[in-house]
Amino acid sequence: MPRKIQDYNLLYSILRPYVDWATRRSYRRFEVHGAKDLPKDGALIFGVNHSNTLMDALVILSSSHSRKVFMARGDIFHNPVIAKILTFLRILPLFRIRNGVAAVRNNTDSIDKAVDVVHDNVGLYLFPEGQHRTKHSLLRLSKGIFHIALDSNEQFGKEKPIYIVPVAIEYGDYFRYRSTAMVNFGEAINVTDFIRNSTEENEAVLMNQLREMLYGHISELFTFIPDDEDYDAIWEIVKMKNEKRAGGLYNKMLRNRDTVAKVLKLREEKPEEAKNLFERVRAFADARVKNRISVTSVPKKNLFLNALWKTIVVLLGLPYFIASAVVNIPVWVTTLIIRHKLKDPAFGNTVSFGVKFVLFPLIFIAGTIVAFCCLKWYWALLATALLFCSYSFFTDYLELSRRYISDIRWIFKSKLRKQYKELKINERF
């Protein structure tokens, strides 16, 4: 009997814990919400938003220890070697009409395998937008996930219910390594009950209805902003309003959504006032970026006190930063070179993850051997611990330094600060 993609694989099982650990270490903060409320009486198909290339799949993979199979666009399977690697990683191809009619015919085999995954109670994860995009919005969902759900329900829906689970990933930043990531599982859609209670017999209509439901459910799980001409201005307002508030990623997302709702209400009730505000916000954002000031500096009230403690932290951490930079030269130089050549900057975090995933273990093993050969055991143990944390400290220190320099610039930009105060973001929203 041929091996199924979801079957146990020893090498995969050995590598999986390291992949999960490395993924979580790629973020300063990593939260998972709603996973405990997933249905336990049926088969689960997960629909996830797609905003950060391969990191989306890695974040989902590390969100729990359960077995998972993914589906990805079929054109990346054209190379036989890559196809074998992707299959080992438990990824099935899903072709679209843009890949050609001949390619789409291969979907029958992929969908059959996907249905078998669902039948075996292994989570099947799809990104139904079909392509990544670094925005807090959603593209139109493709029909692949609904084909699989309907086929699964037809084949074994009487045996157990079929669910589509909406999932959203929210990142603190799409481009900066060691930002934050939150996975939010929503209320499952019971496809079996939906079809049983529907009077509609046309499969295309049923899929469109499910598509609207899933789109709506996913959009409620993260900071969702309508993708129109006001997107950038609304997102700038959200960042200025909620950037520095504490309380965890989930609570921050709720505050973001509340701010978006208030902004959209203003646009609906007072369109001219909103239009004027958006123009001023865009002008401020352009000036802020031109002056290389981070949005994290803008909401601060005690500018000098904040700059003082950051000065102390930067000075205290400088020796360890220099040592970390030296021992990790192969990692950060390789990362910079590859990221500089990227045509799509959205792949930046994937590159940062991949280079560290491959090179840092080699540095750590070599450094540990040298430490225990050259130092007494207790000093070697300390050196090993410092080496273990070195690359994360290196990247976090760079981020702190970037924000520190931004704060200093913000202190000396009185006209820009006045421009920000005139927006009255906190008073309005």
Question: Residue 391's pLDDT band (boundaries 50, 70, 90)?
Answer: very high
Question: DSSP secondary-structure letter at 224?
Answer: -
Question: pLDDT at position 73, please?
Answer: 83
Are 94 and 108 contacting, i.e. CB atoms less than 8 angstroms apart?
Answer: no
Give mean pLDDT, residues 263-286.
97
Question: pLDDT at position 99, please?
Answer: 56
Question: DSSP secondary-structure letter at 73?
Answer: E
List phi, psi (to 5°) of 135: -145, 155
pLDDT at residue 103 is higher than 60 = no
Beta-carbon contacts of 410 under 8 Å, excluding residues fewer than 6 positions away, are 293, 297, 298, 300, 303, 416, 417
**Mapping DSSP to helix (H, G, I), strand (E, B) and coil, where does residue 135 land?**
coil
Beta-carbon contacts of 125 under 8 Å, excluding residues fewer than 6 positions away, are 46, 48, 57, 60, 68, 69, 70, 71, 167
Give mean pLDDT, residues 352-369.
97
pLDDT at residue 102 is higher than 70 = no
Percent pLDDT > 70 in the chain is 97
Q: What is the pTM of this model?
A: 0.92
Question: pLDDT at position 243, please?
Answer: 75
Stronger pLDDT, 242 or 154, i.e. the higher one: 154
Are 149 and 45 contacting, i.e. CB atoms less than 8 angstroms apart?
Answer: yes
Question: pLDDT at position 104, please?
Answer: 58
Are 215 and 221 contacting, i.e. CB atoms less than 8 angstroms apart?
Answer: no
Question: pLDDT at position 97, please?
Answer: 55
Lowest-confidence segment of 101-105, 216-220, 277-281, 352-356 by average pLDDT: 101-105
Question: pLDDT at position 74, please?
Answer: 81
Lowest-confidence segment of 41-55, 71-85, 183-197, 382-396 by average pLDDT: 71-85
Question: pLDDT at position 253, please?
Answer: 96
C-alpha 319, offset from chain centre: 32
Are 346 and 175 contacting, i.e. CB atoms less than 8 angstroms apart?
Answer: yes
Q: What is the DSSP string of 387-424?
A: HHHHHHHHHHHHHHHHHHHHHHHHHT-HHHHHHHHHH-
Model pLDDT for residues 213-269, shown as the tens digit of each residue: 999 999 999 999 998 899 999 999 999 998 766 789 999 999 999 999 999 999 999
CA angle, residues 22, 126, 188, in degrees to nearest 5: 100
Are 140 and 227 contacting, i.e. CB atoms less than 8 angstroms apart?
Answer: no
Question: pLDDT at position 101, please?
Answer: 52
Question: pLDDT at position 2, please?
Answer: 77
Residue type, 198: S
pLDDT at residue 300 is higher than 90 = no
List phi, psi (to 5°) of 344: -110, 105
Question: pLDDT at position 201, please?
Answer: 82
pLDDT at residue 208 is higher than 80 = yes
Question: Residue 109's pLDDT band (boundaries 50, 70, 90)?
Answer: confident
Model pLDDT for residues 25-55, shown as the tens digit of each residue: 999 999 999 999 999 999 999 999 999 999 9
Question: pLDDT at position 213, please?
Answer: 97
Average pLDDT, the chain: 93
Per-residue tokens: 249: 């990623």
pLDDT at residue 10 is higher than 60 = yes
Give mean pLDDT, residues 100-109.
64
pLDDT at residue 98 is higher than 70 = no
Give mean pLDDT, residues 105-131.
90
